[in-house]
């Protein structure tokens, strides 16, 4: 149980949060038409006659969208409904050409499931917590209205209209903004592992309707409000924080919470009422007579399950228990599927697990941060990285040389062996060469040799530094140490 | 069930059909009569009967996930009462 | 060229193949008929260019020995079918000026088989009506008149009233119709022609303006049963663009057509004897039974106990689906837009739809909106779908005793225009015999069987098991062979 409480003027309040996440299903074509789902095309280019709701046009369901919803359900251990059906949600708006959205109210494809959010002491989540998922259903996205291109007109672009969405409805099991944030991050991670949604909140691939109510500890649920279309984890957390505080203020002032739809204003981090859309909340749902019930065959379900990848929780446990990777590194690497994939390619290319994990979480992440890149557009491939780590492991490169080589790899994209070869960056253990350099340095610093021999042993570091410098960092540090000691004690 | 003109106005508003008060007055008895006809159904015992889901035995076919359509903006906009810059235009919506 | 316009589809097809005449001659003959019959108001637009182009293509094809199943046959197309490049309105002002950029599957199949289009046929607005009085383009007037010389304008039936009137008046040898609750069969009966609604799912609904999706089926209307079979073979077939389309091969109905009903059991449902049915209809029904026996069939009495609930169920389900199907007519992407000064988006919708839809369409949209609205959904819609399941079950039980059902098509002959307009319920009751088969998705056809004492045609309906169009057509042919219906409307237009 979260210990998050709102301190009101009259005492403490608990917050109850449920999330309805709309996740765009990854598919080439739309849910009920053959138009493309590509983002960023010319207005109304990705529109078929079906999407524009021309007279006499009919929907035909895309198998891939069904498959992805089922796989997502399986990934959260949910009940898969072998018999489901599409309903029409009727309302009038310019982004909804049919005058109804095809959705699933009465018989969703996925039933009860759950996911686990991780403990995060600092965020006030002392231990892992199971969040219930009530259902997942498939529905159509709407088009887009542009309001700022003409003084008296709005413009309608139907490119998004009919793109497949999963609506993932949680139970009201979250009790702090941090838990809600953790839920969305975990859900996003699972969706990306499954491959059913790219989780790209900036492009609108994932957005959340946030249901918030407050109550005094132990009391009945309060009246909730729904803040629509919040499109980042941070905004979800801000919206909850603001909305919970607002509700407490209203209640403590003797007011009542109105069950209503609200909008989040990211600039001011506040929610505000959308009463303009409140007038007709009667959607007149009924089964879409253009479609038959969706009946899933066992073979289809078997294929869906067989195609599920190892999911983040299982992967993290395996990294820790079987590969011996630190808990921190296992968390970081498994949090996102792209990182985990990159890491596993690194291992497949021969890197040792612990060294690989450490290098990835420190060197690679550091570099990506600096460059403002993500792992998916990392200029160095995992195979190249494995080659680099192999050069360290076999003594060809020292730690500092490896860093230099990595920098060059980031810039040039070249293989590490080539860089080492062409630039002569190989670490040397050639005792003859090193002895010659040492002899020269000791001769040039006879006074310091005297002092060292007189007991000022701290000067040893000075001799190491001079030697390495003279050898341009390529000398094997251990060999330098050994030879220096020998020479000074001679 | 008989509907009054206030209900008619509410339904008309849901259906986005503008009606004058006189029209609403005239529609109320007409709709009430039709509802009277359909209300006979309440006398049928339908205990244990599932609503008809498919008219003729058939199963829902699924389409392959292939882009086969789109890129027909001219056709999409051809009949539009008002189209500008590749968009449909409507009176400004204040959200 | 009048003799050409008296030919049936089969007659035109065969004569054209034999070289008795050119397709162009046929097309020109019918175009002349259409132009000469504007008083009937059967067409919303005439499309002689289409008919001529198809005829020229047919003539060119014949020169190299290529024939389609309908080469040389011009047709009328109900204005509910979207036709590429030709205005399609569903007889509603709201779609006035709408020119589809696509061709409905059914018309594409017909044109692909060589048929040409003489024009878009008038109809009840959005197929809602049984008399063709709800069209925004004026009433269609039946070519038939009572024999009492009163000269009263009669209804051609509806909603496919332009189709029925045009065929009966020999303006076209055949036409497409659509049937949601009887819209092919009832007008066929009113005008002395044949029409069949196939099993739900046989004809693709793609490109047909939707009225009530779970009921709408296209079908042919023609002068006789054989023509219906010929056209049905072209119009039906699997269409992956319609999720409710049946993925089944199209039988060769025409070749198998036979009026011999030996071994067939014909059911007579007792519930179709309704109060107030004219004795002439009852007599015609008895005559039909006698013809069936004569054709070798065995007659059995059956019961369809939920028949009286078919009409109420229909008047929930059809308006509910329509209220949603017609939501797309909003003045944004096509059709008429009504934009009062200073109107916002939602005001524009309400004004557009108020100005664009006719009264009957508005009534049904409102009924549909009401029965789906919060608090009423289960009592109305869910209950109606349960009753619909019971009605379907009645038929299934009947099929254990018989192969087909014989009933009158309509409870009356054609009525006068305006006679029933004041009372929507009286109008709805006209579909009492046709609606049950629609609710159950069954194939059903009307064939002309005789004239009443006023000299107006009456039809008999055959309802078949799912997918048994062959049985329905065969029984229709058996009636046709025995009825010897040759009456036609005297030309007054």
Residue C314 is encoded by which pair of tokens? 């229909």
Residue C255 is encoded by which pair of tokens? 């070749």
Helix, coil or strand: residue A239: helix
CB C196 within 8 A of CB C182: no
On whether any CB of chain A is under 8 Å from the CB of B74, the answer is no
Neighbours of A (≥3 Cβ pairs closer than 8 A)? B, C
**Residue A83 predicted with pLDDT over 50:** yes
On the question of a cis peptide bond just before residue B67, with omega within 30 degrees of 0, the verdict is no
Residue A159, min C-alpha distance to chain C (Å): 14
> Which of A39, A122, A453, A87 is closest to A284 using CA atoms?
A87
What percentage of chain C exceeds 90 in pLDDT? 95
Q: Which of A153, A157, A284, A301 to mutate to test the interface with B (most CBs of B within 10 A)?
A: A153
On whether any CB of chain C is under 8 Å from the CB of A143, the answer is no
Q: Which of C95, C200, C240, C333 to mutate to test the interface with A (most CBs of A within 10 A)?
A: C333
CB C476 within 8 A of CB C459: no
Start-end of H helices in A424-458: 431-444, 446-453
**Interchain proximity C344–B82, CB inside 8 Å:** no
The alpha carbon of residue A7 and the mean position of all alpha carbons in its chain are separated, in whole angstroms, by: 32
CB C79 within 8 A of CB C88: yes
pLDDT in tens, A202-228: 888 999 999 999 999 888 999 999 999
**Interchain proximity A49–C102, CB inside 8 Å:** yes
**Interchain proximity C98–A55, CB inside 8 Å:** yes
Residue C111 makes CB contacts below 8 A (sequence gap 6+) with C54, C103, C117
Helix, coil or strand: residue C470: helix
The alpha carbon of residue A282 and the mean position of all alpha carbons in its chain are separated, in whole angstroms, by: 36
- Which stretch of DSSP H or E encloses residue C294? helix C279-294
pLDDT in tens, C180-220: 999 999 999 999 999 999 999 999 999 999 999 999 999 99
CA of B82: which chain C residue's CA is closest? C332
**Interchain proximity C381–A156, CB inside 8 Å:** no
pLDDT in tens, A425-480: 777 777 888 888 898 999 899 898 889 988 888 889 899 888 888 887 788 888 88
**Residue A311 predicted with pLDDT over 90:** yes
The overall average pLDDT reported for chain A is 93
On whether any CB of chain C is under 8 Å from the CB of A94, the answer is yes
Helix, coil or strand: residue A31: coil
* Distance (Å, whole) CA A102 – CA A163: 11
* Distance (Å, whole) CA C119 – CA C31: 9
pLDDT value of position A1 = 56
Among partner residues B37, B38, B79, which is closest to C334 by beta-carbon distance? B79
Q: Long-range contacts made by residues C335-341, C-beta under 8 angstroms, separation at least 24?
A: C335/B79, C335/B81, C335/C94, C335/C95, C335/C96, C335/C97, C335/C98, C336/B81, C336/C93, C336/C94, C336/C95, C336/C96, C336/C97, C337/B81, C337/B82, C339/B91
**Interchain proximity A292–B76, CB inside 8 Å:** no
**Bridge partner list, C451:** C457
pLDDT value of position C216 = 98
Enumerate the residues of chain A whose CB falls inside 8 A of the CB of residue C243. 58-61, 290-292
pLDDT in tens, C217-235: 999 999 999 999 999 999 9
Residue A260, min C-alpha distance to chain C (Å): 17
CA of C385: which chain B residue's CA is closest? B51
**Interchain proximity B90–A154, CB inside 8 Å:** yes
* Distance (Å, whole) CA A257 – CA A255: 7
On whether any CB of chain C is under 8 Å from the CB of A35, the answer is no
Q: Cα-Cα-Cα-Cα dihedral of C380, C386, C390, C393, to 10°?
A: 140
The overall average pLDDT reported for chain B is 94
Among partner residues C201, C309, C354, which is closest to B41 by beta-carbon distance? C309
Enumerate the residues of chain C whose CB falls inside 8 A of the CB of residue B41. 309, 312-313, 316, 380, 383-384, 387
- Which stretch of DSSP H or E encloses residue C268? strand C265-269
Return the exposure string of C40-78: e unless at least 16 CB atoms fall within 10 Å of the residue's CB, then b. bbbbbbbbbebbbebbebbbebbeeeeebbbbbbbbbbb
What count of residues does chain C have? 493
DSSP letter assigned to residue C45: E
- What's the rounded mean pLDDT across residues A97-123? 96
What ipTM does the predicted assembly reach?
0.97
* Structural domains of chain C, with CATH: 2-260 (3.90.1300.10)
* Distance (Å, whole) CA B86 – CA B77: 8
- What's the rounded mean pLDDT across residues A302-319? 97
pLDDT value of position C299 = 98
**Residue A276 predicted with pLDDT over 70:** no
- How much helix, strand and coil, in percent to the nearest 5, is found in chain A? 40, 20, 40
Query: Domain spans of chain A?
Result: 6-300, 310-423, 431-489
pLDDT in tens, C67-82: 999 999 999 999 999 9
Enumerate the residues of chain A whose CB falls inside 8 A of the CB of residue B77. 44
CA of B53: which chain C residue's CA is closest? C385
**Residue C280 predicted with pLDDT over 80:** yes
- What's the rounded mean pLDDT across residues A235-255? 96
Among partner residues B61, B66, B93, which is closest to A145 by beta-carbon distance? B93
Residue C376: count of CB within 10 angstroms of its CB: 16
pLDDT value of position A429 = 75
Q: If pLDDT is split at 50, 70 and 90, which confidence band does B19 have?
A: very high
Specify burial of residue A68 (Cβ count, 10 A radius: 0-12, 13-18, 19+).
buried
On whether any CB of chain C is under 8 Å from the CB of B8, the answer is yes
On whether any CB of chain A is under 8 Å from the CB of B18, the answer is no
**Residue C326 predicted with pLDDT over 80:** yes
In order, the DSSP letters of chain B are: ----HHHHHHHHHHTT----HHHHHHHHHHHHHHHHHHGGGGGS--TTPPPP--SSS-----B-S---B---HHHHHTT-SSEETTEEEEEPPP-
Q: State the maximum Cα–Cα separation within chain B, in Å, rounded to a whole number.
A: 58
> Which of A206, A205, A204, A223 is closest to A214 using CA atoms?
A223
Higher-pLDDT residue of A10, A86: A86
Q: Which of A292, A294, A301, A303 to mutate to test the interface with B (most CBs of B within 10 A)?
A: A292
**Residue A184 predicted with pLDDT over 90:** yes
Residue A64, min C-alpha distance to chain B (Å): 6
On whether any CB of chain C is under 8 Å from the CB of A61, the answer is yes
- What's the rounded mean pLDDT across residues C405-414? 96
**Distance of CA A324 to CAs A128, A205, A231, A317, A354, Å?**
22, 35, 37, 10, 7
Q: What are phi and psi of A172, to 5 degrees?
A: -75, 60
Enumerate the residues of chain B whose CB falls inside 8 A of the CB of residue C248. none
Measured N-to-C along each axis, helices C23-36 and C9-18 cross at an angle, to the nearest 10 degrees, of: 140
Among partner residues B65, B69, B73, which is closest to A63 by beta-carbon distance? B65
Map tokens 């005792």 to a residue.
Answer: A431
* Distance (Å, whole) CA A337 – CA A345: 12
Residue A351, min C-alpha distance to chain C (Å): 51
- What's the rounded mean pLDDT across residues B64-90? 97
Residue A184 is encoded by which pair of tokens? 């969305």
Specify burial of residue C87 (Cβ count, 10 A radius: 0-12, 13-18, 19+).
middle
Among partner residues C244, C326, C345, which is closest to A292 by beta-carbon distance? C244
**Interchain proximity A42–B73, CB inside 8 Å:** yes
pLDDT value of position A280 = 55
* Distance (Å, whole) CA C336 – CA C280: 46
Enumerate the residues of chain B whose CB falls inside 8 A of the CB of residue A148. none
Enumerate the residues of chain A whose CB falls inside 8 A of the CB of residue B16. 92
What percentage of chain C exceeds 70 in pLDDT? 100
* Distance (Å, whole) CA C274 – CA C282: 10
Helix, coil or strand: residue A113: strand
pLDDT value of position B1 = 66
Residue B50: count of CB within 10 angstroms of its CB: 9
- What's the rounded mean pLDDT across residues C297-322? 97
- What's the rounded mean pLDDT across residues A94-113? 97
CB C475 within 8 A of CB C406: yes
pLDDT value of position A278 = 47
**Interchain proximity C201–B58, CB inside 8 Å:** yes
**In the CATH scheme, what is the code of domain A431-489?**
1.10.10.410
pLDDT value of position C52 = 98
Residues of C with a catalytic annotation lie at: 78, 159, 183
Map tokens 């890149």 to a residue.
Answer: A373
Enumerate the residues of chain A whose CB falls inside 8 A of the CB of residue C377. 284-286
* Distance (Å, whole) CA C54 – CA C162: 22
CB C435 within 8 A of CB C181: yes
Q: Cα-Cα-Cα-Cα dihedral of B54, B56, B57, B59, to 10°?
A: -60
On whether any CB of chain C is under 8 Å from the CB of B82, the answer is yes
CA of A29: which chain B residue's CA is closest? B67
Return the exposure string of C244-260: e unless at least 16 CB atoms fall within 10 Å of the residue's CB, then b. bbbeeebbebbeebebe
Residue A207 is encoded by which pair of tokens? 């957005």
What percentage of chain B exceeds 90 in pLDDT? 87
**Interchain proximity A56–C207, CB inside 8 Å:** yes
Enumerate the residues of chain B whose CB falls inside 8 A of the CB of residue C308. 40
Helix, coil or strand: residue A347: helix
Among partner residues A52, A60, A100, which is closest to C327 by beta-carbon distance? A100
Residue C213, min C-alpha distance to chain A (Å): 6
Task: Give the number of C-alpha atoms closer than 13 A to the C-alpha of residue A471, restricted to the C-beta side.
Answer: 30
Residue C135, min C-alpha distance to chain A (Å): 18
Q: Specify the range with the lowest mean pLDDT, choosing from A133-147, A392-406, C216-230.
A: A392-406
Enumerate the residues of chain B whose CB falls inside 8 A of the CB of residue A287. 53
Neighbours of B (≥3 Cβ pairs closer than 8 A)? A, C
**Distance of CA C256 to CAs C253, C308, C445, C481, Å?**
5, 35, 17, 16
Four-residue CA torsion sign, C461, C438, C360, C210 = negative
Residue C105 zone, left/alpha/beta (φ > 0; ψ -120 to 50; rest): alpha
**Residue C1 predicted with pLDDT over 50:** no
Enumerate the residues of chain C whose CB falls inside 8 A of the CB of residue B80. 332-334
**Residue C261 predicted with pLDDT over 70:** yes
**Interchain proximity A35–B13, CB inside 8 Å:** no
Among partner residues A35, A47, A293, which is closest to B53 by beta-carbon distance? A293
Measured N-to-C along each axis, helices A63-75 and A177-194 cross at an angle, to the nearest 10 degrees, of: 130
On whether any CB of chain C is under 8 Å from the CB of A49, the answer is yes
Residue B17, min C-alpha distance to chain C (Å): 4
């Amino acid at each position: 149980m979260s210990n998050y409480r709102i301190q009101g003027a009259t005492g403490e309040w608990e917050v109850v949060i449920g999330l309805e996440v709309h996740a765009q299903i990854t598919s080439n074509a739309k849910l009920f038409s053959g138009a493309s789902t590509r983002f960023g095309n010319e207005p109304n280019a990705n529109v078929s006659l079906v999407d524009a709701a021309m007279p006499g046009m009919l929907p035909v369901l895309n198998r891939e969208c069904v498959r992805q919803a089922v796989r997502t359900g399986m990934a959260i251990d949910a009940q898969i409904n072998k018999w489901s059906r599409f309903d029409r949600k009727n309302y009038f708006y310019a982004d909804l050409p049919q005058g109804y959205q095809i959705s699933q109210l009465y018989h969703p494809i996925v039933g009860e499931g759950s996911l686990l959010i991780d403990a995060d002491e600092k965020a006030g989540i002392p231990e892992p917590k199971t969040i219930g998922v009530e259902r997942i259903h498939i529905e159509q996205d709407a088009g887009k209205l542009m309001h700022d291109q003409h003084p008296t007109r709005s413009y309608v672009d139907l490119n998004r209209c009919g793109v497949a969405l999963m609506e993932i409805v949680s139970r009201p099991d979250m009790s702090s903004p941090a838990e809600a944030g953790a839920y969305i991050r975990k859900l996003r991670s699972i969706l990306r592992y499954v491959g059913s949604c790219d989780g790209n909140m900036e492009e609108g691939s994932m957005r959340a309707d946030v249901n918030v109510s407050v109550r005094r500890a132990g009391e009945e649920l309060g009246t909730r409000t729904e803040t629509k279309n919040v499109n980042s984890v941070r905004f979800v957390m801000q919206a909850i924080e603001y909305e919970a505080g607002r509700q407490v203020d209203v209640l403590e002032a003797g007011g009542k919470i109105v069950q209503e739809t609200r909008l989040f204003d990211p600039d001011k981090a506040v929610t505000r009422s959308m009463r303009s859309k409140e007038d007709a909340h009667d959607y007149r749902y009924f089964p879409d007579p253009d479609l038959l019930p969706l009946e899933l065959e066992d073979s289809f379900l078997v294929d869906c399950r067989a195609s599920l990848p190892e999911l983040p929780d299982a992967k993290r446990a395996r990294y820790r228990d079987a590969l011996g990777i630190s808990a921190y590194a296992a968390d970081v690497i498994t949090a996102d599927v792209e990182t985990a994939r990159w890491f596993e390619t690194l291992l497949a290319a021969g890197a040792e697990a612990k060294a690989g994990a450490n290098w990835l979480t420190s060197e690679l992440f550091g570099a990506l941060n600096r460059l403002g890149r993500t792992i998916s557009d990392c200029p160095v491939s995992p195979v190249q990285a494995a080659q680099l780590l192999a050069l360290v492991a076999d003594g060809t490169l020292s730690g500092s040389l490896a860093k230099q080589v990595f920098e060059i790899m980031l810039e040039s994209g070249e293989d590490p062996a080539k860089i080492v070869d062409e630039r002569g960056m190989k670490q040397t253990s050639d005792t003859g060469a090193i002895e010659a350099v040492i002899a020269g340095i000791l001769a040039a610093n006879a006074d310091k040799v005297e002092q060292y021999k007189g007991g000022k042993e701290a000067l040893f570091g000075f001799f190491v530094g001079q030697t390495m410098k003279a050898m341009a960092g390529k000398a094997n540090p251990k060999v330098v140490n050994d030879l220096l000691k020998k020479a000074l004690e001679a | 069930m008989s509907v009054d003109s206030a209900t008619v106005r509410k339904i008309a508003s849901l259906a986005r059909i503008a009606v004058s008060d006189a029209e609403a007055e005239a529609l109320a008895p007409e709709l009430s009569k039709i509802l009277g006809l359909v209300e006979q159904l309440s006398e049928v015992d339908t205990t244990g009967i599932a609503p008809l889901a498919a008219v003729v035995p058939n199963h829902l076919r699924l389409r392959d996930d292939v882009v086969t359509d789109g890129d027909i903006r001219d056709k999409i906009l051809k009949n539009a009462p008002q189209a500008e810059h590749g968009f449909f235009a409507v009176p400004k919506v204040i959200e | 060229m009048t003799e050409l316009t008296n030919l049936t589809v089969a007659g035109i097809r065969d004569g054209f193949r034999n070289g008795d005449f050119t397709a162009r001659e046929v097309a020109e003959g019918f175009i002349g008929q259409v132009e000469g019959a504007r008083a009937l108001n059967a067409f919303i637009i005439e499309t002689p260019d289409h008919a001529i182009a198809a005829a020229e293509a047919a003539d060119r094809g014949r020169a190299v020995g290529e024939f389609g199943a309908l080469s040389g046959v011009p047709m009328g197309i109900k204005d509910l079918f979207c036709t590429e490049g030709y205005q399609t309105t569903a007889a509603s002002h709201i779609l006035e000026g709408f020119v589809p950029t696509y061709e409905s599957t059914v018309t594409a199949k017909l044109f692909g088989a060589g048929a040409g289009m003489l024009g878009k046929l008038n109809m009840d607005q959005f197929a809602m009506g049984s008399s063709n009085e709800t069209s925004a383009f004026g009433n269609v007037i039946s070519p038939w008149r009572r024999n009492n010389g009163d000269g009263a304008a009669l209804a051609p039936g509806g909603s496919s009233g332009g189709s029925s009137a045009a065929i009966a008046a020999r303006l076209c040898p055949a036409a497409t119709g659509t049937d949601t609750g009887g819209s092919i069969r009832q007008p066929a009966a009113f005008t002395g022609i044949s029409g069949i609604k196939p099993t739900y799912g046989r004809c693709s609904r793609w490109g047909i303006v939707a009225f009530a999706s779970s009921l709408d089926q296209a079908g042919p209307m023609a002068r006789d049963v054989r023509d219906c079979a010929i056209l049905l073979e072209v119009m039906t077939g699997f269409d992956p663009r319609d999720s409710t389309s049946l993925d089944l091969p199209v039988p060769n109905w025409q070749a198998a057509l036979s009026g011999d009903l030996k071994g067939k059991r014909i059911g007579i449902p007792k519930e179709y004897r309704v109060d107030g049915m004219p004795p002439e209809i009852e007599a015609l029904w008895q005559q039909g039974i006698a013809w069936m026996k004569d054709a070798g069939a065995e007659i059995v009495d059956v019961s369809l106990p939920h028949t009286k609930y078919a009409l109420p169920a229909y008047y929930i389900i059809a308006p509910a689906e329509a209220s949603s199907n017609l939501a797309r007519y909003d003045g944004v992407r096509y059709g008429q837009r009504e934009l009062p000064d200073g109107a916002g988006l939602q005001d524009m919708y309400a004004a557009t739809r108020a100005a664009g839809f006719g009264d009957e369409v508005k009534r049904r949209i409102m009924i549909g909106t009401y029965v789906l609205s919060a608090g009423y959904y289960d009592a109305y819609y869910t209950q109606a779908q349960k009753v619909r399941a019971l009605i379907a079950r009645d038929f299934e039980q009947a099929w254990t005793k018989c192969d087909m059902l014989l009933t009158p098509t309509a409870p009356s002959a054609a009525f006068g225009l305006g006679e029933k307009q004041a009372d929507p319920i009286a109008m709805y009751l006209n579909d009492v015999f046709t609606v049950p088969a629609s609710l159950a998705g069954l194939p059903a056809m009307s064939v002309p069987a005789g004239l009443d004492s006023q000299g107006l045609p009456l039809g008999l309906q055959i309802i078949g098991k799912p997918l048994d169009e062959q049985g329905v057509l065969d029984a229709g042919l058996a009636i046709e062979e025995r009825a010897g219906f040759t009456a036609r409307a005297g030309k007054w237009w």
